[in-house]
C-alpha cells in the first residue's frame, strides 16, 4: 500500500523545501541521482501524486546532500518505510474512510500527541462501552450504524500505541463537560472515569481537565489533536474533527498556532493532580 495522503504530502513538501534551499531545479536534482530519477517523477513525488519508495527517497536525499547520519534523513526514511508497511488497520479498510486510515497510521508513527476534547473523552482513552455509546450517538447514516461494533474494535485497537514497547506519550486536555456525560447506564461513565484515572497515572500519559467555570477560551472552536514528530516540526500534523469528516492542518505556520493554543489550554486547565481529584469526585457522585 502507498503512504497515506497526509504523510505523502508532508514528505513531498519536505523534499521540495530541501531542494529549493539548495537552489536546484527538479531536473538538476534528477541529474544528481545518476539516472535513477527524472524531473517529472521528482515533480510527482513533491506534489504527492506518486508514492515514493524508500530507494527513491534515499536517492533524492543523496542528491540533496543530506548525510547518512542526519537525523532528518533517518526520520524521512523511517516514515517512508512505515508508510509502505502493512498495518493491522488494513484488515478494516472496508469500514474506514481514507481520513480515518490516515489518522491511525499517523498515530502509529507519532512521537507524541496533544489532544484537546471539549465534550468527549479522547478516543485513545475510551472504554469499549463508552466508545460504543459515542459512535452510535454520532452515527449520521445507516452505513455507520451498521458498522458500530467494528468501529468500536478499531477504536480499541488504536489504543495499542499507549502500551507498545515504547509507549506513545499522550497529553490530553479534556473539558469538564466530557466528564459529566450522561450515558444510558451510569456504570458506563463510572467505568470510563475510572479508566481515565488509571491511564492518567501512567508516566507517559498526562490528563488535565479544563473546568466549566473558565473565561472564554481558544478551545471553544472545537476538538483537535497535534501529532508531533520530535524535533522535526515540519512533519507535525493537526487532526481537526467534525461530525462527518476530518481536516488535516499541515502548514508549519498553522500547526504552530495550534501548538500555541495547546499551551493556552494547558495553562488554563487544572493541574494533573487537581484534575484527577475532580475526575474522582465526579465519578463518586454517580
As a whole number of angstroms, the distance between CA 283 and CA 191 comes to 8
pLDDT of residue 97: 85
pLDDT of residue 69: 83
User: What pTM, to 2 d.p., does this model score?
Assistant: 0.84
Same domain, 129 and 212: yes
User: pLDDT tens for residues 129-182?
Assistant: 999 999 999 887 776 778 999 999 999 999 999 999 999 999 999 999 999 999
Q: Which segments within 138-249 are labelled E, that is strand? A: 170-175, 205-210, 224-228, 237-241, 246-249
Calculate mean pLDDT across residues 92-97: 87
Q: Is residue 91 part of a domain?
A: no
Final residue before a domain boundary, out of 84, 108, 126: 84
In the block, cell 527524472 appears at 38
| Domain around 132 | 97-285
User: pLDDT tens for residues 42-74?
Assistant: 999 998 887 888 999 999 999 999 988 888 898
**Grid coordinates standing for 38?**
527524472
Q: Is residue 89 part of a domain?
A: no
Q: Is residue 153 part of a domain?
A: yes
3 CB contacts (<8 Å, ≥6 apart)? 11, 51, 52, 79, 80, 83, 84
Report the CATH number at residue 61.
1.10.260.40
As a whole number of angstroms, the distance between CA 108 and CA 122 comes to 16
Residue 2 reports pLDDT greater than 60 = no
CB 144 within 8 A of CB 203: no
Amino acid at each position: 500500500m502507498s503512504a497515506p495522503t497526509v504523510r505523502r504530502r508532508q514528505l513531498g513538501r519536505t523534499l521540495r523545501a530541501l531542494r529549493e534551499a539548495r537552489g536546484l531545479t527538479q531536473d538538476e536534482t534528477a541529474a544528481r541521482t545518476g539516472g535513477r530519477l527524472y524531473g517529472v517523477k521528482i515533480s510527482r513525488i513533491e506534489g504527492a501524486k506518486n508514492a515514493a519508495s524508500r530507494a527513491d527517497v534515499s536517492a533524492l536525499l543523496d542528491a540533496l546532500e543530506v548525510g547518512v547520519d542526519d537525523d532528518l534523513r533517518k526520520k524521512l526514511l523511517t516514515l517512508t518505510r512505515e508508510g509502505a508497511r502493512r498495518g493491522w488497520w488494513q484488515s478494516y479498510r472496508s469500514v474506514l474512510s481514507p481520513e480515518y486510515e490516515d489518522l491511525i497510521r499517523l498515530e502509529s508513527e507519532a512521537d507524541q500527541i496533544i489532544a484537546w476534547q471539549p465534550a468527549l473523552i479522547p478516543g485513545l482513552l475510551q472504554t469499549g462501552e463508552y466508545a460504543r455509546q459515542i459512535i452510535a450517538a454520532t452515527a449520521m447514516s445507516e452505513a455507520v450504524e451498521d458498522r458500530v461494533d467494528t468501529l468500536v474494535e478499531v477504536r480499541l485497537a488504536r489504543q495499542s500505541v499507549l502500551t507498545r514497547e515504547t509507549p506513545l506519550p499522550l497529553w490530553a486536555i479534556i473539558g469538564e463537560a466530557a466528564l459529566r456525560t450522561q450515558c444510558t447506564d451510569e456504570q458506563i461513565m463510572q467505568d470510563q472515569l475510572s479508566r481515565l484515572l488509571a491511564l492518567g497515572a501512567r508516566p507517559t500519559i498526562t490528563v488535565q481537565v479544563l473546568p466549566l467555570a473558565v473565561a472564554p477560551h481558544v478551545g471553544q472552536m472545537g476538538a483537535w489533536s497535534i501529532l508531533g514528530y520530535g524535533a522535526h516540526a515540519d512533519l507535525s500534523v493537526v487532526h481537526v474533527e467534525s461530525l462527518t469528516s476530518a481536516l488535516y492542518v499541515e502548514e508549519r505556520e498553522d500547526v504552530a498556532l495550534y501548538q500555541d493554543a495547546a499551551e493556552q489550554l494547558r495553562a488554563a486547565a487544572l493541574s494533573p493532580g487537581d484534575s484527577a481529584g475532580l475526575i474522582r469526585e465526579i465519578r463518586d457522585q454517580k
